[in-house]
């Protein structure tokens, strides 16, 4: 492997607005549109809304891939796309490498703990309900660690080699040491063995024995190999936007996206595109759509300069971790209920829709205030 200081070209300066806006769009879908739409459409029970509801729910095990299955991979992808920007001052020698490693360690620990607070019940202090690895932020922590170290110490060629190697390493035991059923896949066995009762979906039964939910099939430990690849793919996209002139960069992003879609689809018959185990084919498939999404936003915003009506998405995109934590770890819904409970008789079944909207609208207002005051909380 070669050191990236000598072999990596200098990156162009400047912030990638399309990345902030695309990240904001992803979080808006997660933290506002989907929960409010699902609450509203559930009350309305209108048949023509069913196709939209279908796309805004996760795909079951034995099916394919829906729009909602893209939210988490795109979030990981964009965390990777920002890494070349963040690491530039260390790659160019502007700041010492030792500082970079300290920054990486702090960010990994903080992301892991925040993820545990959101979904691992870390603040519950109940050992019977603690889950050690169960959240998107924790997958970002793992992917960020691997990708940052590779970007700092390896040329782009070796970063690509590492991504391919991780895909293949994941694939070997998944193919030869199990099958692709919910209970028979290798990743499931690894999680059961390592996480045990600290695995999400595991509960203490009435008989005092630990029981794992038959409906929970998400895997984390072995899937971390491909979580890292997803973040790596994002870093490749970030490096393209920083190394290649804008007129060519969006075309390159689009081309890579199409190539990844083809590769993922070709792999699908042997290894199904499955988000719950984060299969290698799914990693390529979701990576392809992520490249294409960034290409479209990059073309419109950074190349053509069209961003009118899109700036508000930066409220989410430039304080993404704050947005995620506020929406998932703070019970703002109770605040809305405490000041508007008198509306319940008037709204009837729509009162729950109002609470859902009010919850996420308050989060939106907090993010807007932070943006207007130019306060961006980095993790």
- pLDDT score of 207 more than 90: no
- For residues 360 and 356, what is the distance between their CA atoms, to the nearest angstrom? 7
- For residues 330 and 118, what is the distance between their CA atoms, to the nearest angstrom? 9
348-359 confidence digits (pLDDT tens): 999 999 999 999
- pLDDT score of 23 more than 90: yes
pLDDT-wise least confident of 42-46, 75-79, 240-244, 292-296: 42-46
- For the chain, what percent of residues have pLDDT higher than 90? 86
The DSSP call for residue 201 is T
> What's the pLDDT score for residue 62?
66
- For residues 270 and 39, what is the distance between their CA atoms, to the nearest angstrom? 38
pTM of the model: 0.93
Structure tokens at 148: 């940052």
In degrees and rounded to multiples of 5, residue 237 shows phi and psi of: -60, -40
> What's the pLDDT score for residue 14?
57
Helix (H) or strand (E) holding 145: helix 136-153
The DSSP call for residue 202 is E
- DSSP-assigned states of every residue in 260-289: HHHHHHHHTTTS---TTTT-HHHHHHHHHH
**204 SS3 class:** strand
- pLDDT score of 71 more than 90: yes
- The CB density around residue 369, as the number of other CB atoms within 10 Å, is 11
Residues 6+ apart with CB under 8 A from 139: 72, 76, 115, 220, 224, 227
- For residues 27 and 290, what is the distance between their CA atoms, to the nearest angstrom? 14
Q: Where does the pLDDT of residue 128 fall: very low under 50, low under 70, confident under 90, or very high at 90 and above?
A: confident
């Amino acid at each position: 492997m070669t050191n990236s200081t000598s072999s990596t070209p200098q990156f162009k300066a400047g912030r990638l607005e399309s990345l902030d806006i695309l990240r904001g769009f992803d979080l808006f879908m997660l933290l506002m549109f989907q929960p409010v739409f699902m609450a509203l459409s559930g009350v309305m029970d209108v048949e023509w809304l069913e196709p939209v509801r279908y796309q805004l729910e996760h795909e079951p095990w034995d099916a394919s891939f829906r729009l909602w299955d893209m939210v988490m991979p795109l979030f990981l992808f964009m965390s990777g796309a920002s890494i070349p920007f963040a690491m530039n001052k260390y790659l160019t020698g502007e700041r010492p490498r030792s500082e970079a490693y300290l920054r990486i360690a702090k960010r990994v620990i903080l992301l892991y703990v925040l993820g545990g607070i959101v979904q691992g019940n870390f603040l519950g202090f109940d050992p019977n309900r603690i889950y050690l690895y169960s959240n998107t932020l924790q997958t970002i922590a793992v992917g960020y660690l691997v990708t940052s170290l590779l970007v700092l110490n390896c040329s782009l060629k070796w970063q690509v080699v590492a991504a391919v190697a991780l895909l293949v390493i994941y694939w070997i035991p998944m193919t030869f040491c199990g099958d692709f059923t919910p209970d028979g896949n290798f990743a499931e066995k690894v999680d059961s063995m390592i996480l045990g009762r600290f695995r999400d979906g595991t509960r203490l039964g009435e008989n005092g024995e630990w029981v794992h939910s038959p409906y929970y099939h998400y895997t984390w430990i072995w899937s971390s190999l491909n979580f890292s690849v997803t973040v790596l793919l994002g870093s490749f996209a970030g490096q393209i936007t920083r190394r290649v002139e804008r007129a060519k960069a969006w075309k390159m992003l689009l081309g890579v996206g199409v190539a990844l879609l083809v590769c993922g689809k070709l792999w699908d018959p042997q290894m199904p595109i499955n988000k719950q185990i984060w299969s290698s084919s799914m990693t390529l498939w979701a990576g392809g759509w992520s490249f294409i999404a960034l290409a479209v936003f990059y073309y419109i915003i950074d190349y053509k300069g069209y961003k009118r009506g899109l700036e508000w998405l930066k409220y989410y995109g430039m304080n993404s971790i704050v947005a995620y934590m506020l929406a998932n770890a703070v019970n703002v819904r109770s605040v809305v209920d405490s000041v508007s409970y008198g509306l319940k008789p008037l709204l009837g079944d729509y009162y729950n829709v109002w609470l859902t909207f009010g919850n996420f609208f308050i989060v939106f207002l907090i993010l807007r205030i932070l943006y207007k005051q130019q306060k961006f909380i980095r993790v």
